[in-house]
Amino acid sequence: MSLRALFARAQAWTAETAPASLRLGIAVVLAAFVVAQGPNVIHNLPKWHWEDGRHFHHNRQQIHSIADCFLVPSAWEGGAEATYRPLSANLYYLAGRSLFGNNMEVYHAIDAATHLANAILLFLLCRYLLPGPFAVIPPVVFVTRLAHRQDFEYTSNFDTLSYAGLCLLGLLLFVSARRRDRRFLEAVATFAFGLALLCKEAAVVWPAIVTAYGWLFDRSTVWRKYVPGWAVAALWVVCYREMVHLLYAAGTPGFNLDFAPPHLLARYGAYLLAIFNVLVPAVDPERAGWAIPPHLRTFAASTPLVAAMAILLAVEAALLVAARWRPHLVGPSARVAAFGLAWFFAGTAPFVVLADRLFIRYTYFGHAGLAIAVGALASAAAQWIRSARSRTADRRDAMGAAVGVCTSGHHRGNG
């Protein structure tokens, strides 16, 4: 099967032709969220976390207009947190102070609703990637992860929720634009990416994820469609550096970076394993600083797991190469799985280079891609089972036909 034929087949998997009901899918995602996270959300509504007070005080003292949101440092004026996030920090708390008087229950309700909305956006995106009910699997997996509790229980982690949501919205709009050939939607998608960069710098990986989609599902002749995202990212890198130098003292933010391959693979392994709820602490993770649990950190750094992550990376690279130059070897489900893995590796890339900051919350955006890979594997397994049953039925029919022919010939001989 040629790449052109595969792309034509992918175009047939649109949200309009997907047999899964949109309302039913959203209802399933909502129900999964209520069952898995509902008690935590209710328990957390009135809670005041230590970071909240710092943001509230800073916002009252320093932020008096929308312009201040972009021109005044954040609540952390030094160290690793001295970053430029005007929308998800300064503007978010200015709006909360102005609209509902910094009511904690409203903040926490907004954060929980944003987490749920991100899962729904993931569902809408997966309707373009996965057939039928398999599109529901990734958002259900994503919305039920215990590793994401801090992201909607701390108001200060609205930066993660917002950048991930805007990146998901941008991806949804871009994929829809490519399936329908709508240039306006491509522009809106790039604009959403630009807003995501003003929420958290980790959004810079968005063009890489979009390019992975184009590599796996789009035609090489439309490569120019993927340039604007990279151009915005390059412009942001230049502007971000200047804004940080303008607002903060020299040497901030002070991240310690570690690019040793075994250490990178170990961190990737820790973030991948954190998708399993059984490996996430059952107690309040706040007591452990919301870090990756020690037993999980130790396991991820073990030689077998580091080797397994290296093999996974090699498999991903092989899939990407084969998808472009040996397209007949990589079917639709394998392409979606490769896309999900590429998303995971890109989405967590800004965090795996940090030497001393192995936090559970860094899994959030990368787990969305990993959930897509899970849905693709489920789809491939179901297709294999159907094919096996079909082959078994064909063999039975052939054997029945052969027996019938032999019986008919025996009767004619006796006659």
pLDDT tens track for 60-70? 999 999 999 99
Quickly state the pLDDT bin for 414 (edges 50, 70, 90): low
CB count within 10 Å of CB 181 equals 11
Place of tokens 């397209």: 327
pLDDT at 52: 87
372 alpha-carbon distance from chain centroid? 8
* 253, pLDDT greater than 90: no
Query: What is the extent of the structural domain holding 188?
Result: 3-414
pLDDT of residue 18: 47
Task: Tell whether the model's pLDDT for residue 204 goes beyond 70.
Answer: yes
- Is the pLDDT at 14 greater than 50? The verdict is no
* Res. 161: pLDDT tops 80: yes
Please count the structural domains in the chain.
Answer: 1
pLDDT tens for 191-200 read 999 999 999 9
Q: Residue 1 carries which DSSP code?
A: -
Which pLDDT does position 6 carry in this prediction?
Answer: 43
Mean per-residue pLDDT of the chain: 87
Q: Which residues contact 140 (CB under 8 A, 6 or more apart)?
A: 28, 29, 32, 119
Q: Does the structure show a pLDDT above 50 at 273?
A: yes
Longest Cα separation, the chain: 107
pLDDT in tens, 130-158: 998 899 999 999 999 999 988 998 898 99
The pair of three-digit structure tokens given for residue 269, joined into one six-digit string: 């392994």
Q: Is the preceding omega at residue 253 within 30 degrees of 0, hence cis?
A: yes
Residue of 245, 173, 235, 182 whose CA lies nearest to 210: 173
Q: Report percent pLDDT > 70 for the chain.
A: 85
User: With 50 as the cut, is the pLDDT of residue 44 above it?
Assistant: yes
Q: How far is CA 217 from the centre of its chain?
A: 18
DSSP, res 359: B
At residue 403, the pLDDT reads 57
Alpha-carbon span 279 to 22, nearest angstrom: 32
The whole-number average pLDDT for the span 255-280 is 92
> How many CB atoms are closer than 10 A to CB 194?
19
